[in-house]
Structures are given as C-alpha cells and as structure tokens.
Structure 1
Amino acid sequence: MNTTILEGAQDLKVRFHIGRGGHFNNAGHKTYVGTVNGLSDCFGESSIIDVDDNGDKLPDSKWQLIDGGGNVILTGRDKIESETGILDWDGEYDTDIVRKLSECDDDEYEMILDIAERGGYVEKDVLAYVCSALGKLMATNIKVYPSNMEVFTQDDCVHLERDNFSVYTKDEEDDVRELLADKGFISESIDEIIVKMEMYDWFSEKEEMTVENYDFSSDSFLSSQAGFLKEVGDEGEHEDEAKEILGMECGENDSEAWADIMFSTSTGKQYAVCGTAAATAPEGVFYYKELDAMQYIECHDKYLDEFGANAEECLDYLDEDDVELNEGKITFKGNDPVVIDDCDTITHCEDLFEAFYTACRDIQIAAYLVGCRHFYCFQEAACYWR
C-alpha cells in the first residue's frame, strides 16, 4: 500500500448499522453508514448515568449507557468512552457497529465499495484503503501523453498504451470499460479514464475495416486511426518503399492511387500509406500499415519541428534528492531508467525507442515519444524515466 495515502486511513472509524433492509426488508440487514469520530456519535437520544441518586460520582465500572426506553446498552466507563464497539439497541433489528477501517473484514470492504460503485458517497481516503484491501485500483491522478496514459492509483502507476485502445470506436465504449475493469479499476476511475480518452481523441471515429495485408483502413484520410499524418520526405519520395511494404498493385482503374511513407504528428510512429484517391478527395479508401522498427526512415528536421518543443517543455529535470544511488545504480521512485545515454552507448528497454531514434537522431525526442518525462544527469550519463 502507498503509505502516504493510506497510513492515516487505517485508523479512521467507520460505522455499520444492522436493521431491516434488503429486497424483502428483512431483519439483520447490514449497511455501511460512513465515518464517525467515535462510538459516541451513535448514542443519539440515549444518556450516560455516571452519578447515583444522591449526585455522587459512580465508580467507573458502574457507569451505564441507557437508551430512551431505560434499557441498559453498555456498562462501564471504558466501554462507554471507547472509540469503537457495538451498540445492541434491539438485536438484529437495530445494532450499531463502529470499528477501525483496518479491522474490517472483506465483506465489509465489499459493502463500502458497493456503495461507491452505485454512486453513493464514500470518503476518498476510505475508498483508497478499501481498494487496496480488495486488490482494486482507484485513480488519484491521470497524465496523458502522445502515445500513452499514466494512471496513478492508491498503490502504483498503471500505463495504458494508446494503440491498445484506438482500435475501438465510441460506440464500443462498453468493451473499453470491460478491459479497464479487468485491470482492476473501479467504476468511478473508469469514468475518469474514459473522459480523458474522449478529450484526447483516443477512440477511432469509424469502425475499423479488416483489410488483408493492412493494419487498418479508413474512408477519411485526415481522421485515420494513425492520427494526422505528414510525409517523412518530399511528397511521393518514398512511394516505392511504401508500395513494397503494403504489397500494393495498381490496376488500370487506379490512376489516382498513391503511396508514401508518413509519420503521425501525435505519436511519432511511421506508416506506409496508400489511397485510391487523392488525400483531399471526398471519396476514397486509404490503407495504413505501421512500420517495423527496422523500417523507419530518418527525417530529423520534421521530427524536430513537430516534437522538439514539447520534448523540451515536458521534461522534468530532477534534483539529486529526487533520485537514489546504490552501488553505482540509479533509480527514480524505485524504477530503473527507461533510456541511458553515456555518450558512448545508448541503453534502453523500449522496442520503439530505436525506431524513433532512427527517425529523429535526437535522444531527447525519442525518449519523449516513448513516454519519458523525467531527466537526470549522472556521471556524464543522461538518464530518462517515465
């Protein structure tokens, strides 16, 4: 558990009530009420008897908590002033339970989560603790980058890759919700993630068509699933390479068909693209195939124009206190660098980094495109982290 979020939550007092309820309004129905300061918050109109008939103070063991009907509910000062405990007003028809959040069982955690999942109010600290106890994920912050999304939770950070979701249309939102639920996200967090996906156009605008030998197709060039595309070179410069990658053969009626190598201005990925009409034509079909890492084409100036400024602005330069050095190894928040440049060798653990570096010949831009946002220089080595 993330102690900074959850340490204080474990000592919060939560109240449950047993009474009539459920589908058939049966007795013994247990519900979650919320957080309380202590057991005394449940006393209501009951009264504490701590003096005798003569007004003399009673011994602590003789104190009594009396309900409105004169029934003794608790005996003893230690129980009456306890922060937690059980108040049995009328058995399974009316009982209050107050305990520390950390002392609840899984059924009670599920009960609290169910309240939140159905739109009821549950304090954030309580919900975060419950999610950790049940192995669920509650989003505490979301950051969106060109190719991925970082969803910070009560325990850790989950990376969602844009390409894994851009194959879905808005009409297939239920499928996306099911995928996120399978990852462990609760409904409230799924709603927040979906809003971000919509805001940053992660959904494709049209349902993907299955075309042999191609990744996907579209009847609108500018709204393709690859995002807005630009040529890596001059117009038509890489036509032959694109046709070969696509296995494209033009017939007699395909006089306007064209092909080229292009890159996405949102993700930096390169594609072989062909179309049955000009890109600006109102009718036509366009096919896109993502290039393998070894097929990327160098176009430094275009990548610098599109991504250079963002790569610089989005990079967080870390201080010495932000990183941890241990036996020559450097980590940030417990994670090894994604990319290390020691002037002689570039070390990385991302398949696409090599492709992006081939395209832009700029380590900072390539690191940015694989989601790196943190930088630290260590013994003449430049280290990048997400």
Structure 2
Amino acid sequence: MHSRDVDRDAPVDGGSAEAADSASGPPLLTVSDLSVAVRRRQRPLPVVRGVSFQLREGQTLVLLGESGSGKSVTALALMDLLPTGVEITGGQVEIASGSLRSLTPAARRRHIGSTMAMVFQDSISALNPVMRVGDQIAEAVRQRDGVSRAQARERTIELMARVRIPAAEQRYHDFPHQFSGGMRQRIVIAIALALRPRLLIADEPTTALDVSVQAQILSLLAELQEESRMGLVLITHDLGVAATIADRVAVMYAGRIVEITDADELFNRPVHPYTTGLFGSVPQMNGGGTELRPIPGSPPSLVAIPPGCPFHPRCPLAVDRCRAQLPTLENVSEGHAVACHLSQEIVNAR
C-alpha cells in the first residue's frame, strides 16, 4: 500500500490506450476513446468524451476529479450498468482480451460477471435490508461457483473473516442494519470477492466513513489486491485517498481525462493547471500555514461546455488558443500525458 503526502508541487496512460505505461505485462483492461452520452430529443448530451487508459494485473488506477467530471459514468459504462437513456456512443472496452462492445448483451453480461465486480459508495443501498448478510454473500458464491448451500455457507464465512468481520460465523445471520457503515462496506467487498474478479471497480467506497475507518478499508483493499493480483479502478474526489492507494492516477474534468501518470509523478510534478489547482485547494500535511488557493468558478454544466479547453474559464494561464481549440492528451514524458496547450511550456519552466 502506498502512502504519500498531498504535495502541491505536483501531474496515468495517455491520450491513447497505447501511450507509455510504467507497468509490465499485457493489459488486463484497455479503454480506448470511450464516449458516453444521454439520449435527448434534440441531440445526445455527451457526459464522457474520448476516455482512454490501460490497467494491468495487480495495478491500481485512480480516477480523480470533482463531482460531475464523468468518473462514475465511466465506471458504470465499464460494468455495463448505465441507466436507461444513457449509452456508450463510441470507443472500445477490452477486459481480459475480450472486447465488450463486440459481444451480444447476454455474452457481455457473462464476460463481465466472470471477470469484474463493483463496490458502490452507499453500502446500505447495495445490500438487501431484509436479507441476512451471510445469505447475500452466499448467493454470490453459488452464482459464481455452482456449489451446494453448505459449501456456499462455508465459503461465505471464510470471506467474512477475510474482510475482517469479527465473529464471522455468528454474524452470518445478522441483517445489514446491525452493522456499522464500515462493516457494511466490508460485506459489500466480500460479495464482490465472492465473484473472484480479476478486476474490481470501487466507486467512492470510503466517502461516507470517518477517517480511521476509511484508512482500514483502503488498507483492506490493498491487502486483498496484493493477495489475488487483481486490478483495481478506484473512483474518488479525495486527494488523500488517491495518495494512499494509487499506482497511477487519471485526472478527469468535464468528461475528459486531462492528465494521467504514475501517482508519484502526479503528486510531485503536476502539469495541468487543473491538477495544480486541486493540490492548491486542500490543506498540506507538511505545509504549515500555507495559504489555500481554491480554484475560481465552478465546473461547467454538461449542457454548456465552453469551446476550446473546458477548463479555460477557470484557468489562470489561459491564452486565446485555449479558448478556441480543444487540447489533445499528449505525452510530456514517458507515461505522463497532459491535455493542455501550455503543457510543454509549464514543464520547461521548472
């Protein structure tokens, strides 16, 4: 598990899925130019725009950004869980060498179910309130492994113990409301693990938890990942969470990835003005009385994305080109890609 201070002097695959990557081995997940839109009478409303990245076995990728940046929609698209009226309009998703968009809906669900699982933010909503937690985990075990009820119960108790639920055998028969928020999140993780995923997607899994419980959940995810070598995509707006667990970070803004690189590189040498602004707007653990510098303005409405770079109305460095031309995601160094017209000038000025 990683641990970094959130350093303001900070920028994961780049503008294409083939961009330089610091990890070795074939990719477990490849996302290429993924676009998602809401269907409307007039014309589709884009909410994710040309997102590309790769994830390798045992690697953690954090999707980082403010609310409305497209992080959760990207995750739902990967899991084929987009709500009615929202659809993938372009791009490709490959998991374990299988292209999801080329499959029939039934085949796609089977492939996702055999390779991926998801942990949602709100554990109480993710669990059936009138069903014992042990039975909910056992149901996933039986679905995945086709074992008997007795075998599923045994495996469930093992999973509950694995996610550090005390007295697992006794608590098998408890209902969700009898657990704390942190323990409920452990149960949701156990359900996901019952599916033996090669890739786990966790959408803001610690947001509703206090700091000490949050640290326990992140430590648990890192430990489980190390044991099984599964890939992990974690979605968060919290820089501290990203600093704790990420191998690579993709910063999203207005439905696009604006910076993607190794976590150490991002937290020590950010390039995109939005990324730098994020670091400047949070307290520094080692910064003493350093003044906070919040990003001015608000993220753009998806129905009124400004022309050119979507960040230009809030950017202190914006020039005329930023207001007229959309920047593409390009490498500024090996494995570090940035969507900013001024990225090379920013790098050279250091």
Give the TM-score range, shorter chain. Answer: under 0.3
Structure number with higher relative contact order (C-alpha < 8 Å, ≥ 6 residues apart): 2
TM-score, normalised via structure 1 length: 0.26
Would you tell me which structure has more strand in proportion to its own residues? 1
TM-score, normalised via structure 2 length: 0.28
Q: Max radius of gyration: which structure?
A: 1
Would you tell me which structure has more helix in proportion to its own residues? 2
